């Protein structure tokens, strides 16, 4: 392991570490554009110049491996002068777009110019003009004038997705990022090029002119889009709600987690949050009688559920838990089931078309918490529950979130099962064909409106936090179920997600010893035996007590 | 141009494979193969770029990068003769702008265009490594040095 000094600080790094990463280790930031730790070295932007003793000229740090005895200085007058010239060079043809550029406020041209810029520009020539506002695909917009030709986006498509759609065409000051004429940027990870573009050349069409980034607040969360559980930030526009037609969640951004998603998320996850502010959101408890829907209070709704749980024999009640519910919700549900002696429970509802999967991130299981639901012992036979409903063995069905009518199961049979029921209770965030058939519909808070944990397919338990208030009267499922338990006469502690999690950790050995604090921002892996392994065989199921 | 017109003969395909085998990274043969494509198809259309990409297992975007980078690849049908006037620094100082303006007047076309009769395509290009003879231009595969309007007229006269 080479030992070197950077700005007088000694540091030892693994062989092959480049000087940008070595400097990072001692808290020194070497400014750069084209270097990205996930991509190959391009050495294109020339901004990461540093001085190395016994080397005649400043050298690019990204392409220089640390070596033993190296003495590196990142802030010499010569380096500063070089940076200033390079910034000047990058801006020769850059348009004065900041006032209308979505990147403003998180743009590395702005940031580095403020730090190292020339402030007194010498360019008087007409700038070279290039295409602006060119949609590259469904998600990405290109402004070729703003591009500094760092080639990060090109390398991303070559090296990470392997799709190679982007190229740098022509040369000299005519060089221009683009697609092969007539093609589109449609790979499943296209949104990531917006994240890694250091400037405003690639921007998000979904975020275009939506809100200035400095009005956004950020909350650490987990993508609920599939079993991978990519780490994300939820960016919320609380301070200028009128800027985005009341859409509360402005965008989702990937959050680095070396063990889960590294720097990336897929497009389905990135743009999959629209249900949160959709018109189909359920905002108040309601009951339906003879086709007439009327709003109800939470007290009435809880009383109705508790009444049903008493009226039907436990064997006459079937429950569809959801793998989109958090561990906390599922634990609260399990306690209700145990309290009532209900054993007919399932959580898997096969989707009409099998989910897509790839080797990068995307999992075919489009639920964030199937592993948690398995570990909590809720993995029963859903089809059998519906069959039992058809023959009136099950008379009351309690569905969390699922649309049973939009599954791989025969819609006619499902329809017959639902028709045969005496009572259908639905709890979920949004209405669907199944909720339309329910006598009681209770609004659940969406994942950005509450906190909780999901267990990903590899057995990593990860926390998501509350970014916005629940819409209307919606409540987290653990809260609804806690109220039910209380009405059933059970002991229930303070209404906090964390308390339910603590209870879960003492009830399910795989979670033993975990805490919100230990999970932190990067997650914690379940206890052995199944810990940290991709599941190849069915996970051990904890039976209902 | 329809897709079927963009295809190498079996002998050419064998030549492609031979060229690819010459280099540690087969992509290095892209340039000679693009020259083959230009000679065979007259110019390198988008279809030809896609065709060549298929021969190299690279994406069409990367072939497009190479074709647009080099001025000697023609993406439109070119004239029977190509006149490429240097307008880089030395030639510029030695009067390239006047030379280019003169050629444009004589041929009645702009830079990048081809005369209606398909006789000449005019280009303005970067340094051709003959600064000592500025202003200069390349006509097909020969260099013409020390240009004056009179000399240019003479040269253009000779192009049939
Ligand atoms: S578009 Fe952005 S990421 Fe791509 S080369 Fe230009 S500046 Fe770099
Ligand atoms: S791979 Fe899965 S978890 Fe990651 S962003 Fe996509 S949907 Fe979300």
- Closest ligand 2 atom to A225 CA: 7
Q: A167 and B49 in contact by Cβ < 8 A?
A: no
| Domain CATH code at residue B20 | 1.10.10
Neighboring chain A residues of B50 at a CB cutoff of 8 Å: 180
Select from B41, B69, B97 the last residue of a domain.
Answer: B69
Nearest CA to ligand 1 atom 3: A197
A chain contacts of residue B58, beta-carbon cutoff 8 Å:
164
pLDDT tens, position by position, A322-349: 999 999 999 999 999 999 999 999 999 9
Residues B124 and B153 in one domain: yes
pLDDT value at residue A477: 98
Query: Does A131 have pLDDT greater than 50?
Result: yes
Same domain, B27 and B95: no
The ipTM estimated for the assembled molecules is 0.80
> Is B138 a member of any domain?
yes
Q: Does B72 touch chain A (CB under 8 A)?
A: no
Decide if B20 is inside a domain. yes
Residue B99 lies in a domain: yes
The strands making up A71-73's β-sheet, listed across from edge to edge, are A9-12, A3-6, A71-73, A49-52, A59-60
Residue A362, pLDDT > 80, answer: yes
Chain B residues lying within 8 Å of A172, measured CB to CB: 126
Beta bridge partners of A167: A178
Contact B59 A179 (CB under 8 A): no
* Global confidence as pTM: 0.89
pLDDT at A545: 34
| pLDDT tens profile A464-473 | 999 999 999 9
pLDDT value at residue A544? 39
Q: Which residues on B lie below 8 Å from A166 (Cβ)? A: 61
- To test the pocket of ligand 1, the residue of A152, A167, A190 to mutate (highest count of ligand atoms within 8 Å of its CB) is A152
Q: Is residue B74 part of a domain?
A: no
Beta bridge pairs of residue A237: A216
Please state the rounded mean pLDDT for residues A383-389.
97
Count the domains in chain B: 2
CB contact under 8 A, B61 and A181: no
Buried b (16+ CB within 10 A) or exposed e, B130-144: bbebbbbbbbeeeeb
One domain for residues B56 and B19: yes
Q: Which of B42, B69, B96 is the last residue of a domain?
A: B69
The shortest CB-CB distance from B61 to any of A167, A170, A172 is to A167
Instruction: Verify that B44 and B96 share a domain, yes or no.
Output: no
Structure letter (DSSP) for residue A514: -
pLDDT grade for A118, boundaries at 50, 70 and 90: confident
pLDDT per residue over A241-260, tens digit each?
Answer: 777 777 899 999 999 999 99
Confidence band (pLDDT; 50, 70, 90) for B71?
confident
In a domain, B33, yes or no: yes
pLDDT confidence of A297, banded at 50, 70, 90? Answer: very high
Per-residue confidence (pLDDT) for residue B1, from 0 to 100: 43
Q: How sure is the predictor about B4, in pLDDT bands with cuts at 50, 70 and 90?
A: low
- Most A-contacting residue of B47, B53, B61 (CB-CB within 10 A), to test interface: B61
Range of the domain at B88: 81-157
The count of other CB atoms within 10 Å of the CB of residue A298 is 16
Check CB contact of B44 with chain A, cutoff 8 Å.
Answer: no
Chain A, nearest residue to B68 by Cα: A170
Give the number of other CB atoms < 10 A from CB of residue A296: 18
Phi, psi of A253 (to 5 degrees): -125, 145
Mean pLDDT confidence for A483-511? 95
pLDDT in tens, A201-221: 999 999 999 999 999 999 999
The verdict on B63 and B93 lying in the same domain is no
pLDDT of residue A125: 86
Q: What does pLDDT average to over chain A? A: 94
Q: B38, B69, B100 — which closes off a domain?
A: B69
Q: Which residue of B has its CA nearest to A172?
A: B69
B28 and B95 within one domain: no
pLDDT at residue A541 in the model = 38
* A23-40 confidence digits (pLDDT tens): 999 999 999 999 999 999
- Whether ligand 1 lies within 6 angstroms of the CB of A166 is answered as no
Which among B59, B62, B10, B66 is positioned nearest to B38, based on CA atoms? B66
Nearest to A181 among B46, B65, B69 (CB): B46
Q: Which residue in chain A has the smallest CA separation from B46?
A: A181
Contact A325, A477 (CB under 8 A): yes
Residue B18 scores a pLDDT above 50? yes
Nearest to B61 among A170, A171, A180 (CB): A180
In a domain, B7, yes or no: yes
Which of A314, A427, A452, A466 shows the shortest CA–CA distance to A372? A452
pLDDT band for B72, please (50, 70, 90 cuts).
Answer: confident
Q: What is the pLDDT of residues A172-211, one digit of tens each?
A: 889 999 999 999 999 999 999 999 999 999 999 999 999 9
**For a pocket test of ligand 1, which of A36, A130, A150 has the largest count of ligand atoms closer than 8 A to its C-beta?**
A150
Q: Is B58 on the interface with A (CB under 8 A)?
A: yes
Mean pLDDT score of chain B, rounded to an integer? 94
Judged by CB atoms closer than 8 Å, whether chains meet at A171 and B64 is answered as no
* CA atoms of B87 and B99, how far apart (whole Å): 9
Higher local confidence (pLDDT), A544 or B27: B27
Tell me if B15 is assigned to some domain. Answer: yes
Mean pLDDT confidence for A97-119:
94
CATH number at residue B116: 3.40.30.10
Residue contact A180–B64, C-beta within 8 A: yes
For residue A537, pLDDT beyond 50:
no
Using CA atoms, how far residue A142 sits from A177, A194, A197, A332, B16, in Å, is 8, 9, 11, 48, 36
**A476, pLDDT greater than 70:** yes
What does the alpha-carbon distance between residue A192 and residue A156 come to, in Å, rounded to a whole number? 8
B33 plus B95 within the same structural domain: no
Confidence of residue B134 (pLDDT cuts 50, 70, 90): very high
CA of A90 from ligand 1 middle (Å) equals 12
Assess whether B85 and B150 both reside in one domain.
Answer: yes
Is B117 part of any domain?
yes
Ligand nearest to the CA of A200: 1
Residues of chain A that touch chain B, judged by Cβ-Cβ distance less than 8 Å:
163-172, 178-183
| Closest by CA position to B142, among listed B82, B73, B98, B71 | B82
Band (pLDDT 50/70/90 cuts) for residue A529 is low
Domains and CATH numbers, chain A: 3-90 (3.10.20.740), 98-277 (3.30.70.20), 286-448+473-500 (3.40.50.740)
| Structure confidence at residue A183 (pLDDT) | 96
- Position A389 scores a pLDDT of 97
């Amino acid at each position: 392991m080479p030992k070197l000094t950077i700005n007088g600080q000694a540091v030892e790094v693994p062989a092959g570490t480049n000087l940008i990463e070595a400097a990072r280790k001692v808290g020194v930031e070497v400014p750069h554009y084209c270097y990205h730790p996930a991509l190959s070295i391009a050495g294109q932007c020339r901004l990461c110049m540093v001085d190395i003793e016994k080397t005649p000229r400043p050298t690019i740090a990204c392409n220089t491996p640390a070596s033993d005895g190296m003495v590196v200085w990142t802030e010499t007058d010569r380096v500063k002068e070089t940076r200033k010239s390079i910034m000047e060079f990058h801006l020769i043809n850059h348009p004065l777009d900041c006032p209308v550029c979505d990147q403003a406020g998180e743009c590395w041209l702005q940031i580095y110019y403020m730090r190292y810029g020339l402030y007194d520009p010498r360019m008087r020539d007409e700038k070279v003009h290039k295409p602006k506002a060119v949609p590259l695909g469904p998600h990405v917009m290109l402004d070729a004038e703003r591009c500094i030709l760092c080639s990060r986006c090109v390398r991303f498509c070559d090296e990470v997705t392997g799709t190679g759609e982007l190229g740098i065409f022509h040369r000299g000051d005519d060089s221009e990022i683009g697609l092969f004429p007539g093609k589109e940027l449609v790979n499943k990870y296209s949104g990531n090029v917006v994240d890694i573009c250091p400037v405003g050349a690639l921007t998000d069409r979904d975020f275009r002119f939506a809100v200035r980034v400095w009005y956004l607040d950020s909350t650490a969360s987990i993508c609920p889009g599939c079993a991978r559980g990519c780490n994300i930030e939820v960016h919320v526009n609380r301070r200028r709600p009128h800027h985005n037609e009341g859409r509360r969640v402005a965008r989702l951004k990937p959050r680095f987690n070396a063990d889960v998603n590294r720097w990336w998320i897929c497009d389905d996850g990135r743009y999959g949050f629209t249900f949160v502010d959709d018109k189909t959101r359920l905002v108040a408890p309601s009951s339906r009688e003879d086709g007439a829907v009327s709003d109800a209070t939470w007290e009435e709704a809880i009383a109705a559920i508790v009444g049903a749980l008493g009226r039907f024999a436990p064997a006459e009640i079937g429950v569809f838990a959801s793998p989109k519910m958090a561990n906390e919700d599922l634990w609260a549900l399990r306690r209700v089931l145990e309290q009532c002696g209900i054993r007919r429970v399932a959580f898997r509802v096969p989707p009409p078309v099998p989910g897509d999967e790839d080797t990068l991130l995307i999992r075919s299981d489009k639920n964030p918490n199937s592993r948690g639901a398995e570990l909590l012992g809720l993995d029963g036979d859903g089809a059998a529950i519906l069959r039992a409903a058809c023959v009136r063995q099950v008379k009351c069905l309690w569905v969390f979130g699922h649309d049973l009518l939009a599954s791989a199961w025969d819609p006619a049979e499902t329809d017959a099962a639902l028709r045969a029921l005496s009572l259908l209770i639905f709890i979920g965030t949004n209405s669907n064909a199944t909720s339309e058939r329910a006598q009681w519909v209770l609004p659940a808070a969406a994942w950005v409106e509450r906190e909780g944990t999901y267990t990903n397919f590899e057995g990593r338990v990860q926390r998501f936090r509350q970014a916005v208030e629940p819409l209307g009267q919606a409540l987290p499922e653990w809260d609804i179920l806690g109220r039910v338990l209380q009405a059933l006469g059970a002991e229930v502690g303070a209404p906090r997600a964390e308390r339910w999690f603590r209870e879960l950790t003492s009830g399910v050995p795989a979670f033993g010893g975990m805490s919100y604090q230990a999970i932190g921002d990067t997650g914690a892996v379940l206890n052995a035996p199944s810990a940290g392994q991709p599941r190849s065989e069915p996970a051990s199921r904890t039976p209902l007590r | 141009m329809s897709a079927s017109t963009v295809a190498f003969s079996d002998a050419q395909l064998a030549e492609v494979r031979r060229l690819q085998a010459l280099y540690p990274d087969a992509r290095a043969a892209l340039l000679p193969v693009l020259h083959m494509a230009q000679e065979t198809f007259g110019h390198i259309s988008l279809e030809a770029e896609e065709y060549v990409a298929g021969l190299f297992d690279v994406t069409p975007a990367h072939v497009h990068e190479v074709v647009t980078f080099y001025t000697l690849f023609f993406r439109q049908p070119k004239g029977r003769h190509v006149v490429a006037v240097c307008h880089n620094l030395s030639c510029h100082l030695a009067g390239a702008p006047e030379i280019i303006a003169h050629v444009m007047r004589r041929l009645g076309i702009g830079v990048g265009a081809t005369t209606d009769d398909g006789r000449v395509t005019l280009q303005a290009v970067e340094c051709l490594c003959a600064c000592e003879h500025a202003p200069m231009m390349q006509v097909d595969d020969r260099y013409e040095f020390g240009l004056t309007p009179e000399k240019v007229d003479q040269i253009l006269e000779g192009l049939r």
